Amino acid sequence: MKLQPQIGAEGSAQWLARVATQSLIEEARLSPKPGLVDSRGSGAHHDLNLDLMERSAHSLSPTFHALALQSWQRPADIALRQLVGRLGREGEAQMMAATGGVNTHRGAIWALGLLVAAAAMHGCEGSSSQIAASAAKLASLPDSYAPKVFSKGLLATRRYRVPGAREEAQLGFPHIMRLALPQLRRSRSNGATEQQARLDALMAIMTTLSDTCVLSRAGLEGLEAMQNGARSVLVAGGTATVEGRTALAWLDKEMLTLNASPGGAADLLAATLLIDRIACDDATITPLPQHSHF
């Protein structure tokens, strides 16, 4: 639900940048997240911690602001795609400078960057479906200035023949729109605390995401452990129940044993928190079956 409407491009860009940064920080602080950095510690990571994640989130505010301002009430065309690509790459460079070269938020810049741009394209008056559809359109346009790099994500998608961050955006963020956002709102309306509703939304993403961070670090075994473990949490009734919390603690242990960290799922949770706040939605979104595959 949109909380703070703003008039005009500059005020809206400032607001979108603030909400995007806040969403990244709230994702990072949310605990207990399996394998990920949270308020308890570094999870499966040796080079990441909460302080670094928060520094990285703050370093991205100017990028989100520029993306929103430049996309304000514009259509999705090649010119905007190229501009958004350039701003995204500059954002990555700012992130790397702020973290001393550690990749904290590359996937998040991509997802939240596209969504911030899309929200601005709709003049901050779009529904979640309209914002996701415009982000998908932008992500599907070619960016001839993109350098040809053979990333870890690309390597994992080819090796395991699964979709990655690029495809998730091009398909209109199905893990947000069909799983996480409905789960977040359903858990809230069932009486879960905000922390529990967010953890449930993360679990919903993890049930089917082919997270290339997990695949790169722990292969198919890690991915299956993540998906099955997240399903067990939700089947047990989610993190508002004792059984759900027990299943989550078990999943956390297993992810640490496998050295697996679902960084892509964490990005999509931050993006879910962003859309939840900036979209002009009616009270409910029709949820699809929880365990559908993409």
Ligand X SMILES: CC(C)(COP(=O)(O)OP(=O)(O)OC[C@H]1O[C@@H](n2cnc3c(N)ncnc32)[C@H](O[C@H]2O[C@H](COP(=O)(O)OP(=O)(O)OP(=O)(O)O)[C@@H](O)[C@H]2O)[C@@H]1O)[C@@H](O)C(=O)NCCC(=O)NCCS
Site size toward ligand X (CB under 6 A) is 36
Residues 6 or more apart from 180 whose CB is under 8 A from it? Answer: 201, 202, 204, 205, 268, 269, 272
Site for ligand ADE, rule CB under 6 A = 27-28, 36-37, 43, 45, 48, 53, 105, 108, 261, 263, 266-267
Q: How far is the CB of 179 from ligand X (least distance, A)?
A: 12
- Tell me if 168 contacts ligand X by CB under 6 A: yes
Nearest to ligand ADE of 238, 263 (CB atom): 263
- Tell me if 245 contacts ligand X by CB under 6 A: no
- Tell me if 164 contacts ligand X by CB under 6 A: yes
Alpha-helical segments (H) within the chain: 9-29, 50-59, 61-71, 78-99, 106-121, 128-140, 152-160, 165-170, 174, 181-189, 194-206, 212-235, 242-257, 263-278
Write the Ramachandran bin of 237: left for phi over 0, alpha for psi from -120 to 50, otherwise beta.
Answer: left
Binding span for ligand X by CB under 6 A among 72-80, 209-217, 234-242, 274-282: 209-217
Q: Which does 32 bind (CB under 5 to 8 A by kind): ligand ADE, ligand X, none?
A: none
Q: How far is the CB of 180 from ligand ADE (least distance, A)?
A: 14
Among positions 13, 68, 109, 119, the unique one binding ligand X when judged by CB under 6 A: 109
**Distances in Å between the alpha carbon of 102 and those of 13, 56, 57, 61, 282?**
27, 9, 13, 18, 39
- Tell me if 89 contacts ligand X by CB under 6 A: yes
Please tell me whether residue 157 adopts helix, strand or coil conformation. helix
Binding span for ligand X by CB under 6 A among 9-17, 160-168, 196-204, 272-280: 160-168
**Distances in Å between the alpha carbon of 263 and those of 57, 172, 196?**
14, 19, 19
Residue reference for tokens 């955006």: 169
Binding site residues, ligand X, CB under 6 A: 84-85, 88-89, 103-110, 113-114, 143, 146, 151-154, 164-166, 168, 209-213, 216-217, 261, 263-264, 267-268
